[in-house]
């Protein structure tokens, strides 16, 4: 009963260890996927940053041109100034959109980074659980080996005791056989003595028969 329970525990531990290993593999795949997403977000963020800097530089250039145009407007170039101001407003709106995209990309980056840390933590927990399961499996297997060895030793002792029992039984049978032989021999001797006594009584009856009878009783 205890051996069966141990085997059942061992099977359960092995299944749990297998499930833990599968979870660890899945976590590794998720971690790799999240790492790829994180790299993609980083590249996108860098690209957004480059575009933002380019837009800022373009705005500076336009502002410089606007300043130049304003200087020219003093001489009558108001039309050029209006076009440049319109262009500046468009660039400001575009820059605002790019900054909003950059903020969203940064948010996604932090989210992916946080998720990656969670997956790494889960992987570490799964690894620890797998090690604990493996340790329990090893202990159960060692316990089963110990029980098997104890059973083998008990079987050896039982075999030795059985051999001793059979030897004693054989000796008893031999002793009974010798006792039977002795009893048969004694019976034959008694019969022979009785025959001798009967013969002696027929030849000389009287006191002579009494010592013989006492001798037979003494032998008995």
Contact of 84 with 66, CB cutoff 8 Å? yes
How far is Cα 164 from Cα 168, in angstroms, rounded to an integer? Answer: 6
Largest pairwise CA distance in the chain: 191
pLDDT value for 203: 46
pLDDT value for 212: 39
Give which of 61, 58, 142, 48 is closest to 97, Cα–Cα: 48
How far is Cα 24 from Cα 129, in angstroms, rounded to an integer? Answer: 10
Contact of 93 with 136, CB cutoff 8 Å? no
How far is Cα 185 from Cα 190, in angstroms, rounded to an integer? Answer: 9
Torsion of CA 37, 41, 44, 46, to 10 degrees: -130
Using alpha carbons only, give the angle 35, 38, 40 rounded to the nearest 5 degrees: 110
How far is Cα 48 from Cα 51, in angstroms, rounded to an integer? Answer: 5
For residue 58, what are the contacts with CB-CB under 8 A and spacing of at least 6?
Answer: 91
> Domain extents for the chain?
133-190
pLDDT in tens, the chain (220 residues): 677 887 787 888 888 888 888 888 888 888 888 889 889 888 988 898 898 899 889 889 988 988 887 777 677 656 777 788 888 899 899 989 989 988 988 898 899 889 889 989 999 998 998 899 899 889 989 999 999 999 999 999 999 999 999 999 999 999 999 999 999 999 888 888 888 777 765 544 444 444 433 333 334 3
Contact of 194 with 212, CB cutoff 8 Å? no
How far is Cα 36 from Cα 30, in angstroms, rounded to an integer? Answer: 10
């Amino acid at each position: 009963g205890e051996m069966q329970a141990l085997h059942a525990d061992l099977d359960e531990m092995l299944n749990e260890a297998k499930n833990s290993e599968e979870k660890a593999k899945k976590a590794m795949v998720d971690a790799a996927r999240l790492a790829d997403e994180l790299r993609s977000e980083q590249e996108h963020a860098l690209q957004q940053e480059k575009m933002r800097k380019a837009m800022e530089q373009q705005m500076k250039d336009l502002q410089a041109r606007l300043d130049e145009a304003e200087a020219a407007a003093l001489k009558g170039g108001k039309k050029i100034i209006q076009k440049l101001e319109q262009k500046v407003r468009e660039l400001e709106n575009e820059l605002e959109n790019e900054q909003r995209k950059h903020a969203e990309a940064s948010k996604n980056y932090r989210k992916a980074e946080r998720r990656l840390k969670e997956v790494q933590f889960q992987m570490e927990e799964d690894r620890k659980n797998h090690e604990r399961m493996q340790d329990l499996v090893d202990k159960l297997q060692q316990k089963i080996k110990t029980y098997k060895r104890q059973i083998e030793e008990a079987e050896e002792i039982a075999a030795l005791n059985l051999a001793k029992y059979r030897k004693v039984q054989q000796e008893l049978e031999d002793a009974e056989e010798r006792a039977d032989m002795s009893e048969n021999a004694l019976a034959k001797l008694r019969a022979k003595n009785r025959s001798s006594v009967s013969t002696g009584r027929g030849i000389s009856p009287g006191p002579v028969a009494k010592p013989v009878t006492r001798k037979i009783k003494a032998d008995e």
